[in-house]
Structure 1
Amino acid sequence: MSIEYMKVYLFQLIVSNCVQRMADKTVDGGPWTGCTVMFLQSLCPGVNLLSLYKDPQGKFIIFKVIKLTLIDSAGGLGTYEILKVHDADPFLGVEVKFVNVTACRQFLESYSSGAVRQYLCQHACRLLALPQELTVETQLKAGTHILDLCLENLELCLQHIHLSQPERLRDEEIDELEQQLQSQARGPASQTATITQEESPIPSNCFEFENRVFEDRMLTAADVQSFSNGVGRHWKHVGRALGRNCRALKGPAIDNLAYEYEREGLYEQAYQLLSRFIQAEGRAAKLSRLVKALEDCKLTSLAEHILGLQPRE
């Protein structure tokens, strides 16, 4: 065995042990925390994210773009928080604290695949009403480590983030922006507030469910997980509902999935169903289509759960 091979082997062993200690700590009930900073810069002329954030009118819009991007890429709320958004000229720096290793891993996977940039561009184009697609440059750091250089090893990235503990509490400015975001969500102008169709037409990038209007978006890994956990033996019915407008799920496709993943159980069958839908439909694999399929199958409680609604009494 060569010396170089031994070095690589020992390094991998050390990383594996560190990751295992992190996992053990989570299993034992101890809090897993870590901090990373995401740097953002627009490459489109005339669109400067840093300048927009410094502007009193643009600050809230940019914060909302960042918030929606994190929701799409890391799952639901409560597993992370934005601590600070700061000037890192020419970049806009976003410091994020993770309190859940699963959410952090999901974010890293989204970042590594380019999904974070995609979500960011989609939300920025919509909320800023840009006439063209936005292109952004990103960089991810944990302490002194540039995570972009080791994204092929997500466990090592997790270790760097875990060792990079936040040095500050959340900025008061972020508290104010969070409160403003919550107030908007409760207000009549919110896209997620209760609105009747007579009061306001539904925007083209939104959909209606139970007399509420929700922003439409691509399905995320968190959506797939929630669906797979909750749909149970009804996954075939949902698959056939989705298959009305998805060629990949027509014909014997559903039965083939059932046969192929029978040993793995209902969760894996449902997971593979929605994964195949997303793979086949690409950007057209929208949240609205899944919610409509669940409605058609009388699974409104699961749709409510995926949308983050409180269960009806």
Structure 2
Amino acid sequence: MADSSDLWIGSAYVFLQSTSEKIVLPCLYGSSQLKSSIFRALKLAFADSTGSLNGVDILKVHCSEPHLIIQIKFCMQENCRKFLRSYRAGLFRDSLQNHLQVTLSVNDIPVEVELKAGSERLDHMLQEEDRCLECIYKEKPDRLRDEEITELEESFRSLTFQQKSNNMTPTNECRPLNSSSLPYCSVESSLPAGATFIFQEQSFVNRTLTPEDHQKFAKLVSKKWKQVGRSLQKNCRALRDPVIDNLAHEYDREGLYEQAYQLLLMFIQSEGKRATLQRLIAALEENSLTTLAEDLLGLHQSENDTS
């Protein structure tokens, strides 16, 4: 094997599969609305496992149901070694599950991972680190970075630079991964049992936002999504100016639904379990969107059921 001080290039494939029947990763990645978000989760998980956003190059993402297959390239032996140790300890899988959970706004995404280099399945030899390194080193990349991956990479880095320039707490902060170091775990805790809030003199149970809330908000908020975003930004650094205006520009062609969807997605990604129903309802009230608030709380449905 080449000395670690020399140029060291190797390649491998990571096979991902969700064990949840409701979540099919290839289908989600195939969605134009979710592709960039899932790519972001992949980048952050690889960054967590190597300590650097440049530790692993993603060359291609293959959709082969039920697997999402990621072709990766290492340009430094030390980065590959760090990844192998993280992978062996289950930290890469944990990081990926957490980043996907935030990205897709769901409570649990169980993911199975498998690592291959050529015909060798490395999961069976993870305790033999040098042997795994040798297998990866022997597999030279058979392609340049895919054009689609290049575009996703540029979009990802643009957003990362934008966050840093606005002095945000980056969700892609690279550090050794453990359950307390994930940015969305270290600052939040579960809502207190029985936590409630008052709306129209009624008491409602507070909870984290669900995919249903997310979609309903995007569908019904219409042109006022930016005003709601400015209300949410008071306690959410990820939405500080000029982020909201940038979202409006970036998703202008996709229309109001996608702009509103991306706004709330950014709120959920940055706030995690602190992205609660109470905070969204308060922002809607502040902008006189009472009907939408009532829809999210199920008040209209209740009225229809009793009529």
TM tier relative to shorter chain: 0.5 to 0.7
- The answer on whether the counterparts of 1:83 and 1:169 sit within 8 Å (CA) in structure 2 is yes
Q: Check 1:77–1:185 CA distance in 2 against 1; reply closer, same or farther (3 A cut).
A: closer
The answer for the alignment partner of 2:292 in structure 1 is none
Q: Which amino acid aligns with 1:214?
A: P
The answer for the alignment partner of 1:84 in structure 2 is 60
What is the root-mean-square deviation in Å for CA atoms of aligned residues? 2.3
Q: Check 1:212–1:22 CA distance in 2 against 1; reply closer, same or farther (3 A cut).
A: same
Are residues 1:54 and 2:30 paired?
Answer: yes
- The answer on whether the counterparts of 1:83 and 1:171 sit within 8 Å (CA) in structure 2 is yes
Could you tell me which of 10, 15, 24 is aligned with 1:34? 10
May I ask how many residue pairs the two structures share in their alignment?
Answer: 186
- The answer on whether the counterparts of 1:38 and 1:140 sit within 8 Å (CA) in structure 2 is yes
Could you tell me which of 84, 88, 100 is aligned with 1:108? 84
Offset at residue 78 of structure 1 (A): 3.0
Offset at residue 154 of structure 1 (A): 1.0
Are residues 1:65 and 2:47 paired?
Answer: no
Q: Check 1:178–1:162 CA distance in 2 against 1; reply closer, same or farther (3 A cut).
A: same
Offset at residue 180 of structure 1 (A): 1.1
What is the distance in 2 between the residues matched to 1:129 and 1:283? 19
The answer for the alignment partner of 2:109 in structure 1 is 134
The answer for the alignment partner of 1:215 in structure 2 is 171
Offset at residue 47 of structure 1 (A): 1.2
TM alignment of 1:1-313, pairs within 5 A: 21-23=1-3, 26-27=4-5, 30-130=6-106, 132-187=107-162, 192-195=163-166, 211-215=167-171, 219-220=175-176, 283-285=179-181
What does the per-residue CA deviation read over 1:40-81, in whole Å, with 9 as the maximum and x for residues that have no partner? Answer: 011112111110111111111110010000000012133431
Offset at residue 90 of structure 1 (A): 1.3
- The answer on whether the counterparts of 1:74 and 1:106 sit within 8 Å (CA) in structure 2 is yes
- The answer on whether the counterparts of 2:17 and 2:24 sit within 8 Å (CA) in structure 1 is yes
Q: SS of the residue aligned with 2:113?
A: strand
Unaligned runs of 5+ in 2: 187-307
Q: SS of the residue aligned with 2:169?
A: strand
What is the distance in 1 between the residues matched to 2:153 and 2:42? 12
- The answer on whether the counterparts of 1:65 and 1:124 sit within 8 Å (CA) in structure 2 is yes
Normalised by the length of structure 1, the TM-score is 0.55
What is the distance in 2 between the residues matched to 1:90 and 1:80? 24
What is the distance in 2 between the residues matched to 1:71 and 1:165? 21
- The answer on whether the counterparts of 2:44 and 2:172 sit within 8 Å (CA) in structure 1 is no
What is the distance in 2 between the residues matched to 1:39 and 1:76? 21
What is the distance in 1 between the residues matched to 2:103 and 2:185? 22
Q: Check 1:288–1:91 CA distance in 2 against 1; reply closer, same or farther (3 A cut).
A: closer
Percent sequence identity is: 34
What is the distance in 2 between the residues matched to 1:84 and 1:58? 17
Offset at residue 284 of structure 1 (A): 2.6
Q: SS of the residue aligned with 2:108?
A: coil
The answer for the alignment partner of 1:201 in structure 2 is none
- The answer on whether the counterparts of 1:35 and 1:98 sit within 8 Å (CA) in structure 2 is yes
Unaligned runs of 5+ in 1: 1-20, 196-210, 222-281, 291-313
- The answer on whether the counterparts of 1:40 and 1:136 sit within 8 Å (CA) in structure 2 is yes
Normalised by the length of structure 2, the TM-score is 0.56
Q: Which amino acid aligns with 1:65?
A: A
The answer for the alignment partner of 2:275 in structure 1 is none
Offset at residue 129 of structure 1 (A): 0.4
